[in-house]
Chain A
């Protein structure tokens, strides 16, 4: 099926993720248009790493990403709100107990 914004002329939108330094996660930085993933990688290199912003690039076709809907935010994330016992600060430990 054809998606909103999906191009029909052989070009597609790719989302770009960059690892800034070894030890860090890849982070979303933007998007580029390309005819295939390899071209997306080349464009991402020119558009997003002109000043040594990265040592590694991932490209993903935008159409292949499934994103949650903001309208579902409550259903998805609200259940975590009242589970304070999942955090270490929930528990009262006497001061004299060390290294806990």
Chain B
């Protein structure tokens, strides 16, 4: 029971703390980030600059590379196939956005409590779960000019047959329609979760003030869905710009190259069966990157603003 007090003379000052201990709070987040940063650098950032470099080469990917300066870009400048792809890319961007209002519409439709609503929700969500390749195949059969359902249905109205995927006038729209099917489901699920967070009191208040239908939707519900809309916008834009698998499966870029987009054209000249032009493909990739950069900048800017506003 002897509580012996430590004499002053024997007091030991705490040891000098290590460098890590002193800077723990500043350093630890970076330590945790290192693997992520490393992978992001190796797989995203460095390849971007590599693409810039490759786009100045004439290289078949196997043999000796030759520096040709900006010759690849000069060739792009009057390459008809490039402009077709660029035009299709913009058509994709514009029409793919239809998935957002369509998704909102279906979400509003499904946002009610009826017996079995979960089943309906899953059914509407289903197309997003299946692979794009399967979607492409299914729509390929659907559009088949001789045996497909689409033309049989047109026949009921005395129309058609229309060879959707074999006609350069319709082919891009036909593929976008196929792409909208899963994309709409994706936007729908985003809005369904968003709708859960809509404040019922505000709805009640709006109702007392006499807001109805479209006005209610536009001035009360949609503003509260802004975070969901933002995400839907981001994923749809990205989806439109990387629309590759559907084109590859449904038309292989045809007929005579009229359904190509930049990402597919890049693949074709650089990596496909007849592609041996890494430099030219990289030049296409750089153009695609610059287009994406516009959107990426906008996204980052608006996210930054949001953070700042808090």
A and B associate in one complex: no
> What is A's interface to B at a CB cutoff of 8 Å?
none
> What is B's interface to A at a CB cutoff of 8 Å?
none
